A and B are shown apart, each in its own frame.
Chain A
C-alpha cells in the first residue's frame, strides 16, 4: 500500500503499530532505497515481479514463476524465481564492497574492490540455466519439508562477470585445493550476526569452468538486490544454491566446504536409492552436483480450449545440467506414443534449449500434452516422480498441460 493511501486509512490503532516499525525513520533512508526487510504487502512492486509469480513465503522471501510466464528465451527479472534462506541484506555499501579470496588452499589471501574486479579481469557473458535443487518438491509423497516449489524455480538469464577461475588463479590455488565455498552478507533468520544463512560451494572442477562467473550484471543491468547485488557467483546447471548471492568472500578449501547447507541433508540425496519415506543416515546422503534433464512447456498456458482440426503450436525450454538435451518429444496419449519436437542447440553451455512442435489431435475431447527431454547420455525424464528423497530434491518428472479440443 502506498503511503498516500495509507494516510487515508490510518487510525490511532495502526499509529501505534507503526511506532514499533522502522518506517518512522523513512526520511533518513537513502534515496531510492527500498526497505526490503519489512514485511511488505506488495512484493510484486518491491521486486518488480510479474503478477503471475507466486509468493511461497514472505519471511524469508521465496517466490516462484509459473510455466507460462517463462516463455521468453532469456528470462527477464520480472519472471525469475527468488529463493532465500535468510533475510536480504539491508545495507549494501558498494563503494566499500570487497571480495576476499582466502581459505586453506589459497596461495596468498587477496581482496578486490568491485572496480578492481571489473578492471583487472576480462568480462564474459553467458546465458545460464539456474534451477533450485528443490524445484518440483511439492509433488513428492510423503511430502518433503521446505518451500513447496511446483515448476517455476528455474530461470535462464544473461549473466556478465569475470571468470571465477581468473580470480582464483590471480590469488593462487595450492595443489591440495578440493572445493570452494562462498560467504555472503545476507542475514540469518534469527538475526544472529555470528550465523550465516547459507554458505555453499562446488568442487574445483566446477569452479574452474569457463562459464562459472563472479557476476555483476544480469541481463545487461546491475543485478537486482533480490538476485544478489552487487556480486553473485553463478554456476549454471547446478543447484541454484551454488550460485551464492551478495558474496563478499570465497574460500579455497582443502576439503569439501562445510558451511551451512553443505552438511546434513541439505542439498543432498541418498547415495543409494531408498523407498518413499525411508529414513536415511547422514553419512549415506550425497551432495547434489549437476541437475538432471528437464523441460517445461511455456506456451500455451495449461487449460487452452482449441477448435477441432486445428494444429496446436507448443513451445518451451529444455536443459540438462552439465549435459546437453539431444532429443525432445511430446505425447498426447499419456506416453503410449511419442513424436519429436524441434529442439535448438544451446547458445552456450548451460543455456536452456528451445523446442517447438505442431500438435494435431485426432478428435475432440480432453487431452494432456506431455513433453520429455533426453540428455546427451541417453537419459530421459521420467513420467512419474523420480526417486523419493527426504528433502524432495531433483523432481524432473515430465511437464504436462491440459488441452480441450471442441
Chain B
C-alpha cells in the first residue's frame, strides 16, 4: 500500500515538475511571440504601427474549387503552377491574363530571357496546359457592353 502511495507521490512530483516546465515553456513562448509581434515593447521607444505579414495558415487550402492563398482554380497542375509561378511575382499577375498555349509559352520564354526564370523542364507543359485550359482568351469584340453596373439613386 505504502509502495503504491510512494509511487503515486513520485508520479505526482514528476507531474508537477512537468507542469512547471510546461508553464515556463508556455510563458517564454508567449513572451517570445509577443516580442516578435511587438519588438518595440521592450525597447521603450515611441510606439508605431507597422503592418505585419499574415499568411493563410494552410498554404494548400482549397475552398469552393479555389486555391485560397493564390486564387488559382483547383485543377490538374495547380501545385506545379503555384510552385513555379508565384515566386517572383504575385498570382494576381497571372490571374489577370488570358492566353492560348502559344502565348503562355511565349510569355515563359520572355520571362526566361529578361526576368531570370530558369528552364522549367517537363513542368513547362504541365504549367502551360493548366493555364491555357483554365485561363483561355475570351473574345470581347470591339467594345463590350457595360456590365456589373452598381445602381444608386443620385442625390442632388
Contacts and interface: CB of A to CB of B under 8 A. Distances in A.
A12 B154 CA distance: 50
B140 to A, nearest CB: 4
B52 A260 contact: no
B51 A1 contact: yes
B118 to A, nearest CB: 10
A118 interface: no
29 contacts: A3-B37, A3-B52, A11-B57, A14-B54, A14-B57, A27-B39, A28-B39, A32-B48, A34-B51, A38-B51, A40-B53, A41-B53, A41-B54, A42-B51, A46-B51, A57-B90, A59-B88, A140-B140, A141-B141, A143-B138, A146-B96, A189-B115, A260-B114, A302-B150, A303-B152, A306-B154, A368-B146, A384-B143, A400-B146
Nearest to A9: B54
Contacts of B39: 24-28
A143 B146 contact: no
Nearest to A19: B36
B17 interface: no
Interface in A194-214: 195
A15 B33 contact: yes
A172 interface: no
B49 A3 contact: yes
Interface in B53-109: 53-55, 57, 88-90, 92-93, 96-99, 103, 107
B5 interface: no
A341 interface: no
A305 B96 contact: no
Contact of A59 (B50, B90, B103): B90
A402 B146 contact: yes
Contacts of A2: 49, 51-52
A10 interface: yes
B4 interface: no
B96 A147 contact: yes
Given A42-B51, A260-B114, A305-B153, 15 more contacts: A1-B52, A6-B37, A17-B55, A18-B52, A24-B36, A26-B50, A38-B52, A46-B51, A57-B93, A58-B92, A60-B90, A139-B140, A139-B143, A189-B88, A400-B146
Contacts of B151: 303, 305, 404
B28 interface: no
Interface string B119-156: 00000000000000000011111111010011111100
B54 A1 contact: yes
7 pairs of A and B residues whose beta carbons are closest in the complex: A27-B39, A190-B116, A141-B140, A59-B90, A304-B154, A148-B96, A189-B88
B43 interface: yes
A35 B142 contact: no
Nearest to A43: B51
Given A147-B96, A397-B143, A303 B38 contact: no
A15 B43 CA distance: 21
A300 interface: yes
B98 A143 contact: yes
Interface in A27-79: 27-29, 31-32, 34-35, 38-42, 45-46, 55-60
Interface in A361-406: 368, 383-385, 397, 400, 402, 404
Nearest to B117: A190
A316 B151 CA distance: 20
B36 A38 contact: no
Contacts of B138: 141, 143
B146 A147 contact: no
B53 A302 contact: no
A403 B49 CA distance: 43
A39 B59 CA distance: 15
Contacts of B152: 301, 303-305
A305 B138 CA distance: 31
B45 A31 contact: yes
Contacts of A39: 53, 55, 90
B23 interface: no
Nearest to B88: A189
A57 B50 contact: no
Contact of A7 (B34, B51, B99): B34
B40 A26 contact: yes
B46 interface: yes
A21 B53 contact: yes
B120 to A, nearest CB: 15
A176 to B, nearest CB: 29
A25 B35 CA distance: 11
B150 A303 contact: yes
Interface string A126-140: 000000000000011
A11 B49 CA distance: 21
Contacts of A312: 154
